[in-house]
Amino acid sequence: MSYRAFEVTGSRRFALVDREVHDPLPGQVRLRVEACGVCHTDAFAVEGLRPDPSVPVVPGHEIVGVIDAVGPGVTAWQPGTRVGVGYLNGHCGQCEPCRRGDFVNCTDQPQTGTTTDGGYAEVAYARASGLVRVPDGAQALDVAPLLCAGLTVYRALLTAGARPGSLVAIQGIGGLGHLGIQYAKALGYRVAAIARGTGKAELAAELGADEYLDSTAVDPGRELARLGGAAAIVATASSGASMSPLVAGLGPRGQLLVVGAAPDPIEVRTPDLIFGTRSVVGALTGSAIENEDGVRLAHDRGIRSRNEIMPLSEAPKAYERMMSGDARFRVVLDAHA
């Protein structure tokens, strides 16, 4: 029995291939893919940024599918269960970070769609330790972007540890930011959205923002300080220069949580860190159970990713659409289309 998959080698060299289905390895499950989000992190595979880009790999790490086989040693998951798989393909449980409960930083953890095959395919494989239970009634196409984009902003907000009612800012209203506003509101924060121009002010309010800051008209750091100072700012824009002014807008012990990868540095005045005990923190992703929590919260509170749906057969076009920056706001592959 075979399945279709899009492999990539080199830089943007996609090939549609037929692969043979095999039994999952010990500790693994096999999934019949229903949907897979197209994320900017897919660029590590597609743009040839891996150590050896000549080795074919299937991109995609926002996977929703149904288990159709479990490998030896898997007892907590059964065939027929709908699950998700994010960027982290499952921790080993044995390295020092795992032994200390730091599963995100496991040193023996495959990266879905980068170091191990991902979801631009009809079939995918994952470690059981990386699985996310999908709520009954949730739609695969809705859930897929939550498994990376959603988790990224949700986990960043948890990292801040801000009290409900605190002012929290989301910089950027794109694939990450439009979810960040919704998660922040669902967690009980007073939400300020920061973007360039006035074009997204109405959208920000629709998503739940209480304040909208046009960074072309005001200094967002000063404006946040005028509003009382932010307990946390989640920076999603791919620009270090746009993040630099935000530190001054943090309240005492506030955190600038950086989730947008930018080519240029963030510049910070040391007094802005020292006086107020503020910090700049990188936020990666979360563990499988945190991912499950975030998906459940989204399902229960009506948090929705705004998606453009494309068939699996158009995966290369879907990737180009995502990379163009024109998608509103996430691109998702439908394996059944």
pLDDT digits (tens, 9 = 90+) for 176-191: 999 999 999 999 999 9
Query: Whole-model pTM?
Result: 0.96
**DSSP per-residue letters across 96-154:** HHHHTT-GGG-SS--BBTTTB--SSBSEEEEEGGGEEEPPTT--HHHHGGGGTHHHHHH
Q: Are residues 124 and 160 in the same domain?
A: no
Domain boundary (282, 311, 326) is at 282
Q: What percent of the chain has pLDDT over 70?
A: 100
Residue 95: partners with Cβ closer than 8 Å, 6 or more residues away: 106, 107, 108
Q: Are residues 113 and 13 in the same domain?
A: yes
How many domains does the chain contain in total?
A: 2
Q: Are residues 70 and 101 in the same domain?
A: yes
Residue 111: partners with Cβ closer than 8 Å, 6 or more residues away: 44, 61, 87, 88, 89
- At residue 102, the pLDDT reads 96
Q: Are residues 157 and 138 in the same domain?
A: no
Q: Are residues 221 and 298 in the same domain?
A: no
Domain that holds residue 99: 2-147+286-334
Instruction: Give 116-154 pLDDT, tens digit per residue.
Output: 999 999 999 999 999 999 999 999 999 999 999 999 999
- Tokens 């693994």 correspond to 28
Please give the structure tokens belonging to residue 120. Answer: 């631009």
Q: Are residues 125 and 163 in the same domain?
A: no
Write out the chain's pLDDT in tens, 337 residues.
999 999 999 999 999 999 999 999 999 999 999 999 999 999 999 999 999 999 999 999 999 999 999 999 999 999 999 999 999 999 999 999 999 999 999 999 999 999 999 999 999 999 999 999 999 999 999 999 999 999 999 999 999 999 999 999 999 999 999 999 999 999 999 999 999 999 999 999 999 999 999 999 999 999 999 999 999 999 999 899 999 999 999 999 999 999 999 999 999 999 999 999 999 999 989 999 999 999 999 999 999 999 999 999 999 999 999 999 999 999 999 999 9
Residue 22: partners with Cβ closer than 8 Å, 6 or more residues away: none
Q: Are residues 185 and 71 in the same domain?
A: no
Quick one: CA torsion of 263, 200, 168, 304, rounded to 10 degrees?
-100
Instruction: Give 310-336 pLDDT, tens digit per residue.
Output: 999 999 999 999 999 999 999 999 999
| CA atoms of 263 and 258, how far apart (whole Å) | 13
